[in-house]
Structure 1
Amino acid sequence: MSDVPFGFGLPGDRDPDRREGGGGDPAGGDPFGLGALFGGMAGGGSPEDVLGKMPLFAELQRLMNWSGGPVNWDLAKQGAISQLAAGHQPSSDGERTAVAEALRLADLWLDQVTEMPSGIDRTAAWSRVEWVEQTLPAWGALIDPLAEKVVAAMTSALPQEAAMSFGPIAGIMGRMGGVMFGAQVGSALGKLADEVLTSTDVGLPLAPAGTGVLVPQNVAAFAAGLDRPADEVRLFLALREAAAQRLFAHVPWLRQQLQDAVHAYARGITIDREAIERGISEAMSAGGMEGLDPSDPESIQRLLGSGVLEPEETPEQAMALRRLETLLALVEGWIDTVVAAAAKDRLPGHSALAETMRRRRASGGPAEQTFATLVGLQLRPRRLRDAATVWAAMTQQHGGADRDRLWNHPDLLPTSDDLDEPMDFVARQGQGLDAELEALTEGDTEPEKPEED
């Protein structure tokens, strides 16, 4: 898993896992062809001439003209689907029927443990390729603002001397960024599509509103390593999907709060200009006056590989990540709690399946991989356990209705500090919950206008 924040993959990176879907040099020395591009610029060729002559960019010249935003989503989709082509299995009619029945039964069971009504209007059994295609709009809303800020920060942080050295390359930095982001996103989505089980497996609702989804090919692979019947595993995962759909459908601010936490991190992205200048100075000292030479790919790669273009995390970003981590933990903990209540007397293998999911999260499941790629966030299992403790204790001490009413307003939810002492938080809840909610929502209504004489 990468420790480098999203969008900061370096051309000299030789990790094959991070080059998948990106094309370029198979030896890993220059996966995006930047060395040849820089050399062509120094030789006086126009960007279009150079792009047309390079094998990788001749193929992607059309994509280089992408004008739909900071991420080239055409390339991302193409890269993800190409990764999945070899093992792709379309969903059968039988699988679609089995998924629909499992989600319907799951909703019936959940009706008895939560007052939140069903959030599923239709069901779907997606193939891995369909998962990529259907979730792209949600990924765009999440990733585009982050990618745009990254490109802007990197461009504005370059000192004037470096910008002059790069010459004509400055004019296509934005398009290059779109290609690089597209390649990275495509690779990440291809890997996720290989293992996601539902549409909410990453902690966010990625399917169109009201659509409950399972990915039968991945569900079968997940069940193959377990000593439980396949239909039992499918029903357990349907319970998790149906519970998540209820939460996101009936807590209207939740989706936006999760996105806002990621975007708050993006707004704080800055790159230390002084560090760049020091890096360039050191490069020049090491290689003489030719230390930074746009015609020398090794010179450019030394600069990029020095780490001077990597952002430094600010206190504001740390707060945004903490909020995101807490929200994701609360979502996952609530799902664990209501699924356990619905399944404990009906699903013989629930305990074993729940433990398998906990181990999956602890070793780095889709949510952790996604957010580590996006913003360097590591979802700690301890936060998930603490969140589940809050929801389970609220159910036991105050009942399911008071437990679910905590979702009526974001300020009612436990904070990261509350999760440090979950039982103290639960002890403070109860009869005062209605009064606290009334106080919080009092200012949400407009005051009545005075009557005119």
Structure 2
Amino acid sequence: MADDDFNSSDDRTPEEEFQELMRQLLGGGTGGLDPEQLSRLSGMNIDPAMMQAVMRQLQSAFEGGGEGGISWDLAQRQALHIANQEGLGVTSGQRTDLDQAFALATLWLSEATTISDLATPPRTLTRGGWVEATLPVWQELAEPVATSIADALTAALSEQAPDDMQGLVQGAGRIMRTVGGSLFASQLGQVVGNLSKEVVSGGDVGIPLMPDGEAAILPQNFDDFGRDLEVPEDQLALYVATRELAHARLFRHARWLRLHVISQVTDFARGVHVDTDALEDLASRFDPSEPEELRRALESGALLPARSEAQNAALARLENLLATVEGWVEVVTEDATSRLPSAQRIAEAVRRRRAVGGPAERALGSLVGLELRPRRMREAAAMWRAVTDAVGSAARDALWDYPDLMPAAADIDDPAALVARLEARARGEAPVTDEMDDALARLLAGEEDASSAEANGDENDVDGDGSSGSDSPDDHRPV
């Protein structure tokens, strides 16, 4: 019967053949697609071999899509494929050299900060190891944007589909969502895979990607980082080890900080919405023979609209937070590596590298609309330097004990005011109140007065009728 049905389709147009293929695919068939039927698509300028491969990929995505239609396994496979392409591992000599660098960096950091050492020893990672260790955080950061793109793609394709295919498209919501999510996951995998060729350490990007309390270095990327510095490799390794340990120590000590950073990033990502006009325009002129067009749109960031005012404000808060963290790490690393002859040269290279970012980091910005480069790192470092010089490392590090003690954006703008507060606290003086403190005090005083008056009224109203319980003149008039 199937052969008779197929033979009866000789008079179909290429467009009708394509629709029939889509019906087979969306119907969940797993028996494969007939090469002879695919050859009929030549009238639409579609490469049958390419279409067969696409159909197999889509069927696979339909059968094994991840939660919400997004296959994060695809992102991991893509990232690991790129990270492991060169087949480089970590030699025993590199591991020994880095273990020695970590050991000396630990001693130096103990003199520069009161924040305690890590509970687990630092690691040397391959690029693939870094991908596996950090991908759960990348997934958490990117999932809101991936979901937005997948949902918008479903809606846009449904609106652009012809009337005679509306029922088919409406019944294929899951696979359409899977297609968009899988494309995004594939792009994220490419970005993370390429980023693994750029990063030198676990905290290199600025956000806490490594598991809590862990530090790591990627010796495979040392050569590219230090190629133009003309710095001995052992000094470079020692500086990077010190900086990585400082970053990991801070996030292990201030356990609330990791959640604080991740929450701000995901809050920003949830505010990212797809430019529906751009997506509808893409869907209206989408050519099945050019499937890379959607991929290029994802890569370029063309589907992400300009940031709203709320997003700009969220991004400013995130940048201030990351700058505060990076500034502390820079100052502590500078103090710890003061004996290192090339420390200043390496530090300046790190600052330039963090300010400019690499190709993969820029691709990440296009993909999720987020730049992870703190624009105020120099100002934040200057603030931490002023605090350190004024009150010492112990009082400085105590600012990370609780979230409400951490310096705010206003402190980066005016370090002198922060220093004055810390010096007054060290002398045992009461902190100087500001307008908000005064307003809060007045509010509390007003509530207390009202509560007292209400309590006094309740005591006098012993009869429960709203009147006083004391005798009145009328109480003694003769009967």
Matched ranges for 1:173-322 at <5 A: 173-270=176-273, 275=277, 292=284, 310-322=304-316
Matched, 1:353 2:377: no
The residue identity in structure 2 corresponding to 1:383 is R
Q: Which has the higher contact order (CA 8 A, sep 6+)?
A: 1
Distance in structure 1 (CA, Å) of the matches to 2:198 and 2:252: 24
Matched, 1:414 2:412: no
What's the CA shift string for 1:288-339, capped at 9, x where partnerless? Answer: xxx948887789979x979995445333322221121111111111111000
CA RMSD of aligned residues (A): 3.8
Contact 2:58 2:179 survives alignment (8 Å): no
> Are the aligned partners of 1:119 and 1:249 in contact in 2 as well (CA < 8 Å)?
yes
Kindly provide the CA deviation profile for residues 222-269 of structure 1, in whole angstroms up to 9, marking residues without a partner as x. 233321211111010000110001101011111111111122123333
In the alignment, the residues of structure 2 paired with residue 156 and residue 312 of structure 1 have an alpha-carbon distance, to the nearest angstrom, of 21
Q: Does 1:100 align with 2:95?
A: no
Contact 2:83 2:128 in 1 (8 A): yes
Alignment of 1:66 onto 2:45: no
Distance 1:389 1:72, change over 3 A: same
Retained in 2: the 8 A contact 1:120–1:245? Answer: no
**How far 1:402 moved relative to its partner?**
2.1
The Cα shift of 1:399 comes to: 1.4
What corresponds to 1:112 in structure 2? 111
The residue that corresponds to 2:322 in the other structure is: 328
Counterpart Cα distance in 1 of 2:423 and 2:368: 37
| Amino acid aligned to 1:339 | T
- What letter is aligned with 1:333? G
- Does residue 372 (structure 1) correspond to residue 365 (structure 2)? The answer is yes
Shift, 1:366, TM fit: 8.2
CA distance in 2 between counterparts of 1:327 and 1:386 reads 12
Amino acid at match of 1:191: N
Fraction of identical pairs, as percent: 37
Q: Tell me the distance in 1 between the aligned counterparts of 2:372 and 2:302.
A: 27
Contact preservation (8 Å) 2:274, 2:304 = yes
1:55 pairs with one of 49, 53, 56: 53
Q: CA–CA distance in 1 between the matches of 2:329 and 2:109? A: 11
Q: 1:94-150 CA deviation, whole Å, 9 max, x = no partner? A: 222222221121111111111100125122111111111222222223322442344
Contact 2:197–2:221, Cα closer than 8 Å, also in 1: yes
Q: Secondary structure at the match of 1:237?
A: helix
**Shift in Å, 1:392:** 0.8
Residues 322-365 of structure 1: CA deviation (Å, up to 9, x unaligned) = 12111111111111100000111x21110111111112122214
Q: Matches of 1:163 and 1:405 in 2, distance apart?
A: 64
Aligned mates of 1:420, 1:118 — CA distance in 2: 31
Please tell me the residue identity of whatever aligns with 1:187.
Q
Distance 1:426-1:156 versus aligned 2 partners, 3 A rule: farther
Work out which of the residue numbers 376, 383, 403 in structure 1 matches 2:376.
Answer: 383
Q: Bigger radius of gyration, 1 or 2? A: 2
Residue number in structure 2 paired with 1:128: 127
Q: Assess if the C-alpha contact under 8 Å between 2:101 and 2:241 holds in 1.
A: yes
AA paired with 1:400? S
Distance 1:412 1:418 in 2: 11
Which one is further off, 53-62 or 390-399? 53-62
Q: Secondary structure at the match of 2:423?
A: coil
Structure 2 match to 1:46: 25
The answer on whether the counterparts of 1:99 and 1:123 sit within 8 Å (CA) in structure 2 is no
Note the C-alpha offset of 1:170.
3.1
For the residues of structure 1 that align with 2:374 and 2:209, how far apart are their CA atoms?
Answer: 22
Call closer, same or farther: CA 1:362–1:146 in 2, change over 3 Å.
same
1:35-81, Cα deviation, whole Å (9 max, x unpaired): x9x95478643324599542144256434422245542221122122
The 1:69–1:124 alpha-carbon spacing in structure 2 relative to 1, beyond 3 Å, is farther
- Per the TM alignment, residue 403 of structure 1 is displaced from its structure 2 partner at its CA by 1.6
Read off the aligned partner of 1:77 and give its amino acid letter: Q
Q: For residues 73 and 343 of structure 1, do their structure 2 counterparts lie closer, same or farther at Cα, with a shift above 3 Å needed?
A: same
Provide structure 1 residue ranges, at least 5 long, that are not aligned to the other structure. Answer: 1-35, 284-290, 441-453
The number of residue pairs the alignment matches comes to 389
How far residue 182 of structure 1 moved from its aligned partner, in angstroms, is 1.6
**Structure 2 CA distance for aligned equivalents of residues 234 and 295 of structure 1:** 50
Q: 2:331 aligns with which of 329, 332, 337?
A: 337
- Answer yes or no: is 1:76 the counterpart of 2:75: yes
Moved more, 201-210 or 419-428: 419-428
> For the Cα contact (< 8 Å) 2:153–2:180, is it kept in 1?
no
Deviation of 1:194 after TM superposition, in Å, equals 0.4
